[in-house]
Structure 1
Amino acid sequence: MTLTLPKAELHLHLEGAMTPDLVRLFAARNGIEIADGLYDENDRYIWSDFPQFLDSFDGASSVIRTRRDYSDLTCQYLVEQAKIGALYVELFCSPSHAAMQGLSFDDHLLAVADGIDRAFRQSGIIGRIVMTCVRHLGPDKAIDVARDTVACKHPYIVGFGMGGNESLFTQKDFYPAYKIAADGGLGCTTHAGEVLGPESVWDAIDHLPVDRIGHGVRSIEDEKLVVELAKRGIVLEVCPGSNIALSVYPDYASHPLRRLYDAGVKVTLGSDDPPFFHTTLADEYQRAHDLFGFSEDELRGITRTAINAAYVDADTKASLLARV
């Protein structure tokens, strides 16, 4: 059932889509030796806690060195999602990560855009870009990313977001960067309520011009916050597989996806960093059906929620909704 169901994804870190196959491919053509212990004989990345996950993520993405690499990564991910019914994906793209591999803002952007075009020609899937700053690099660096993002005016860039270590700085510290992005016409989202509790979500919705929250699941710990999210129509980009892998919750039975939905909070489904968390977008929809009791109609509704919350232009949004 869920393989044919129309899907849309709003929470996917591009480097986090690196499969071990791609690591080997990029390493070979870039003449890079892969570090020992990155993944096991079953091609499962090896890590046991959040800091080790970040090390694993950095180890895998370190083999990305060229525009061709970013284009191939983008194209492969999108085409694979089209095969399982995805109509639309917003890719979280980090110019700061690309810079660490020696790629300029423009080289990174144009490579991802090329991958989006290739995937569309091959499969009809539509991809767009949410440029992200990295929280632990600080508010000043975030301002630089926001300025570059707004200045380039590329039509595929539709939003601005923030990932990285939630325990450093506050959401409010990043208001100057977010103001630049919002004033430039970009939709805004931020990670909150994953590692930290409801206070991080309050910090975001009270101080940043956001209408979406990455994860946000720990909002369930504050009844007033749940009511506020529902009242404001703020959308949570929920990634259950990621939450279980990172021990935000011990098991699916304790995950609040269904409770948030039943409380009137708008939710979507995302895979976050799928090969690292041993999940896929198809898995997330299947689990929502099998473990959380979502009907096919409810899952179609979640896809519609994602498309309505997407930062893509109105005409594209209307054509996508017509396909759901």
Structure 2
Amino acid sequence: MSLKSNPKLELHLHLEGAAPPAFIRGLAKEKHIDISGIFDARGGYAYTDFWHFLKIYEAATSVLQSPMDFHRLTLAVLEESAANGVIYTEMFISPDFCGGRDLGAWREYLHAMTEAAEQAERDLGITMRGIVTAIRHFGPDKARETARCAAETAGRFITGFGMGGDEKICEPKDFAWSFDMAREAGLGITVHAGEWRGPEHIRDTLTALRPSRLGHGVRAIEDLALVDELAEQGIVLEVCPGSNIVLGLYPDWRAHPIGQLYDRGVKVTVSTDDPPFFHTSMAREWDRLADALEWDDGVFQTLNRTALDAAFCDADTRATLAKTLEQAYAR
């Protein structure tokens, strides 16, 4: 039985990476931009490994050139998420792709995305919050500009600051200034770590940037002492199993360490990362985990409650979501 209709909370979703291929193709056609080389014969995104994926990602994003493009994209992504039972989502949004980190331009893009999110909440019942995201391989200087965009627009909609991109570029301490600025602005802190580098990188990230959440973090399993530390400190992992498997970190769903992390008391959540790139959805993630790990409704309810507790949202939003979950579980 599919878990598609069950309510779900998602904390790790890249807005541009969630763009349906058909949406990007249509936008490219409207703008007379030839990006046909980024698609495979079936119309999906085509890439060979994680680093090629980053190039294809940025090529797809190149057709998103105006606030209205991002308004349309936000609606398309939220519609897909809502169709998979998602009632709350936090999306990584990069000022790098929204006006080149210029604060004035960023405000215009942000206004367009906020309007789309409000429309989706009215029409689809899904709530969105934004996490401004620095791109690691663009370097520390650009991350500072991104952090300024985040700090200047922090509020009800922009509630977090994070960093994605090529984990092998630079060290966490190189970005400490940016994360300090975001923290001082009251933003929640999350960092991609423990995907392409191992346990020591996770430790360095926790020390230098002090996040409450880690994007991925799954390679902590290679150091059980670190796993226990994560559990003791209450660090929440935004785990994206389908992404990890497609990109070759683990051979299949049974081999993925999310079950071991959960059993050892780590606070784990489930997300899709860049779903069309990895041929997944929140419903598919839940279904595959239920099959591979024999997780029942109780486990998924725990995952939702963990996500709710870790969400970068205000108290009123959290209370509304808690009530929605309570009503759903009472049926």
Q: TM-score, normalised by structure 2?
A: 0.94
Identity score, percent: 44
CA contact (8 A) 1:233 1:266 kept: yes
Tell me the distance in 2 between the aligned counterparts of 1:148 and 1:45.
Answer: 30
CA contact (8 A) 1:245 1:277 kept: yes
Aligned residue for 2:13, secondary structure, equals: coil
Aligned residue for 1:104, secondary structure, equals: helix
Worse-superposed segment, 164-173 or 262-271? 164-173
What whole-Å deviation, never above 9, does each CA across 1:68-97 have from its counterpart, x for those lacking one? 110111111112211221110001000012
Query: In angstroms, what is the RMSD of aligned CA positions?
Result: 1.6
What whole-Å deviation, never above 9, does each CA across 1:259-293 have from its counterpart, x for those lacking one? 00000000111100111111111111111111122
Question: Equivalent residues in 2 for 1:153-302 (5 A)?
Answer: 153-302=154-303
Aligned residue for 1:254, secondary structure, equals: coil
CA contact (8 A) 1:132 1:163 kept: yes
Aligned residue for 2:243, secondary structure, equals: helix
CA contact (8 A) 2:101 2:149 kept: no
Q: Which amino acid aligns with 1:90?
A: E
> Any gaps of 5 or more consecutive residues in structure 2?
326-331
Change in CA separation of 1:101 and 1:143 when aligned onto 2, cut-off 3 Å: closer
Show the counterpart of 1:144.
145
Q: Which amino acid aligns with 1:37?
A: G
Show the counterpart of 2:120.
119
Show the counterpart of 1:71.
71
Tell me the distance in 2 between the aligned counterparts of 1:191 and 1:262.
Answer: 22
Tell me the distance in 2 between the aligned counterparts of 1:108 and 1:225.
Answer: 40
Show the counterpart of 1:49.
49
Show the counterpart of 1:96.
96
Q: Which amino acid aligns with 2:40?
A: D
Show the counterpart of 2:321.
320
Tell me the distance in 2 between the aligned counterparts of 1:127 and 1:31.
Answer: 31
CA shift, 1:154, in A, is 4.0
CA contact (8 A) 1:5 1:300 kept: no
Show the counterpart of 2:15.
14
CA contact (8 A) 1:79 1:122 kept: no
Q: Which amino acid aligns with 2:21?
A: P
CA shift, 1:135, in A, is 0.7
Show the counterpart of 2:133.
132
What whole-Å deviation, never above 9, does each CA across 1:1-42 have from its counterpart, x for those lacking one? 411211011000111011111012211222322x23321232
Worse-superposed segment, 198-207 or 256-265? 198-207
Q: Which amino acid aligns with 2:87?
A: L
CA contact (8 A) 1:239 1:271 kept: yes
Q: Which amino acid aligns with 1:4?
A: S
Change in CA separation of 1:28 and 1:101 when aligned onto 2, cut-off 3 Å: farther
CA shift, 1:101, in A, is 11
Q: Which amino acid aligns with 1:191?
A: H
Aligned residue for 2:254, secondary structure, equals: helix
Tell me the distance in 2 between the aligned counterparts of 1:211 and 1:83.
Answer: 29
Show the counterpart of 1:87.
87
Question: Equivalent residues in 2 for 1:15-30 (5 A)?
Answer: 15-30=16-31
Aligned residue pairs, count = 323
Tell me the distance in 1 between the aligned counterparts of 2:69 and 2:7.
Answer: 28
Tell me the distance in 2 between the aligned counterparts of 1:41 and 1:148.
Answer: 39
> Any gaps of 5 or more consecutive residues in structure 1?
none
Tell me the distance in 2 between the aligned counterparts of 1:153 and 1:298.
Answer: 33
What whole-Å deviation, never above 9, does each CA across 1:82-138 have from its counterpart, x for those lacking one? 122111000100001223599921122112212211211211110000000111122
Question: Equivalent residues in 2 for 1:29-48 (5 A)?
Answer: 29-33=30-34, 35-48=35-48
What whole-Å deviation, never above 9, does each CA across 1:160-199 have from its counterpart, x for those lacking one? 0000111111112111111111111000000000000111
